[in-house]
Chains A and B, each alone.
Chain A
């Protein structure tokens, strides 16, 4: 068994790293919107880029890229893939 894989949020992931969505710690409405866009627990996620100054972050899930605000991205918990 792998010990304590690193957990973080999408906002704090480094560009170029990948992981798995654990949970969306947001209210009902936002959680629904994110899920409708394909951001759901259990999905593989890759961080494409982040903007300085708590700007928006871009992620890739399946064949799709989504850009979202820092605040939203900070509510999506991920487990980072070990290198």
Chain B
């Protein structure tokens, strides 16, 4: 049996899904968090059933890619749990009626039930149940309230198989139902609502947004740096280095296996930044430097997501984003890209047109550095002074703007206007927010770390086989002539295809001066996406558009790297 969780965007389907199946999925307070579908299993009586978390949709007549996925999924389901936002009954019931007109049995979860009281909304649940002809269970996904009853009553789900209505008839029916079950009493605005409205007005909205973004950057930087300086570096230097020295001696201080595992000894010692063994530099980059920043980044992003800040930022930046051929909502995939480009490119599904998706995905893969890369930029370039970090970020931001502007003028098609629901601000709850942070860290560890290890293995082999020397002499005119970098830097650029963080780490071993390091990191950031983003680009855009994006990437990184080399 297959149970589908369906409903309007941002009603908490994913939270209910996690409660039912125990499967951790990312949840946030903005419409469009779930763009693909996640499957899980739950026990129903003595039966094991499949549960699918379907992307939110307002109607069964899809208007964007994520909604198409939802409409298609409906054909496969044996039973639908319709998750309804109890604070927006009228709009949510439209989809409910559409579902009732289909053949699948339906049960309604009246979610966000706790908020109805604060909002002065009173819903007669028994009456609603009678009018709809299917079970209705009040739930609070975030706390788990009502979930037991929901599970108990799933077998009662029924299909009244109502006659198909026209659009107007359906709204009229919704109106009749709401009139009979809902009463609203007057109440005063809360401070969160006032803050919500203030942050969507030009004044003081822009000031608030600037403050939030600046504070976010500072928290990420100092928290990340703090963990590196006070936790991970001491741990590696004091406890891991002696173990590695023993291993090194055991392996005879040289040889292929020694170089793969421990790397090269620098002055007879292990240097975690330069040795480049899997167990030394591989572990150190992954856990010692990148992990602290990934943690700090997702801590801050998770807070902003759960609060409901991002859709408001989308409204404030809508004018700017239109110049780049996008609308404001594209800022959400872009911000996700500062964490990792892979989920970011997937999140472009919330954009309506193919043109927008192409522009947004191309800009993300070229000009938006992921958290791993940023950790290395801050760590390595930051060592020479913050002004160099500013040049790197400033260049990438300028590329994002200018390239977006050019793409807007040259890519055919049109970009639609913004049309989004703005969720109310909700104070993030510790449990769900911590669980989301944990999920994201787990994804990083599972998907990024093995590739770093693989990368180091590949580097060692390619060095041993002399492949890098051949590529280096072949690419010398570009690398040395245009970028002003030593020939060896080509190995870092090649490895950038696997992991950018590791590639920047390799630049660190070349003894570059500050200017070369700036050029090198900017080129690395823009030149070719890492293999994971490359695969996702091809999947989301199709091979043709992926090749187009890649061509743009090559041209832009050559041009910008060259210009930067001349300008500095």
Contact = CB atoms under 8 A, between A and B. Distances in A.
B243 interface: no
B166 to A, nearest CB: 12
Contact of A40 (B171, B201, B422): B171
A52 B315 CA distance: 11
Interface stretch (B83-91, B226-234, B368-376): B83-91
B315 A56 contact: yes
B134 interface: no
Contact of A62 (B90, B328, B417, B419): B90
A72 B420 CA distance: 12
Contacts of B91: 36-38, 62, 64
A22 interface: no
Given A38-B90, A48-B197, A62-B88, A32 B167 contact: yes
A66 B417 contact: no
Interface string A56-72: 10100011111111111
B173 interface: no
Given A36-B58, A36-B59, A38-B91, A68 B171 contact: no
A58 B196 CA distance: 12
| Interface core residue of A15, A37, A38, A71 (most chain B CB under 10 Å) | A37
A49 B197 contact: yes
| Interface core residue of B91, B202, B422, B424 (most chain A CB under 10 Å) | B91
A49 B506 CA distance: 50
B88 A64 contact: yes
A38 B175 CA distance: 12
Given A68-B418, A69-B418, A56 B58 contact: no
Given A48-B200, A68-B417, A56 B422 contact: no
| Interface core residue of B196, B316, B319, B418 (most chain A CB under 10 Å) | B418
Contacts of B289: none
A68 B311 CA distance: 12
A36 B499 CA distance: 43
A49 B201 contact: yes
A67 B327 CA distance: 12
A52 B202 CA distance: 8
Contacts of A38: 88, 90-91
B540 interface: no
Range class of the B interface residue count: 35 or more
Given A63-B119, A67-B311, A56 B88 contact: no
A40 B171 CA distance: 9
A53 interface: yes
Range class of the A interface residue count: 20 to 34
A56 B87 contact: no
A47 to B, nearest CB: 11
Contacts, number: 96
Nearest to B319: A55
Interface string A21-44: 000000001001111111010000
Interface string B413-440: 0001111111010000000000000000
Nearest to A33: B63
A47 B171 CA distance: 23
B319 A51 contact: yes
Contact of A66 (B197, B201, B421): B421
Contacts of A68: 417-420
Nearest to A32: B61
A23 to B, nearest CB: 13
B94 interface: yes
A37 B420 CA distance: 9
B121 interface: yes
Contacts of B202: 49, 51-52
B197 A69 contact: no
A36 B421 contact: no
A33 to B, nearest CB: 5
Interface in B35-64: 58-59, 61, 63
Given A32-B59, A71-B417, A55 B318 contact: yes
A81 B370 CA distance: 49
A37 B419 contact: yes
B103 to A, nearest CB: 22
Contacts of A55: 318-319
B197 A33 contact: no
Given A66-B422, A67-B318, A71-B417, 20 more contacts: A36-B59, A36-B94, A38-B88, A49-B205, A52-B202, A56-B328, A56-B417, A58-B315, A63-B87, A64-B87, A65-B196, A65-B200, A65-B421, A66-B421, A67-B419, A68-B417, A68-B419, A69-B318, A69-B416, A72-B419
Q: Can you list the 8 inter-chain pairs with the closest CB atoms, starting with the nearest? A: A69-B417, A36-B58, A38-B91, A65-B422, A49-B201, A36-B59, A55-B319, A67-B315
5 contacts: A35-B167, A51-B315, A56-B318, A67-B311, A69-B318
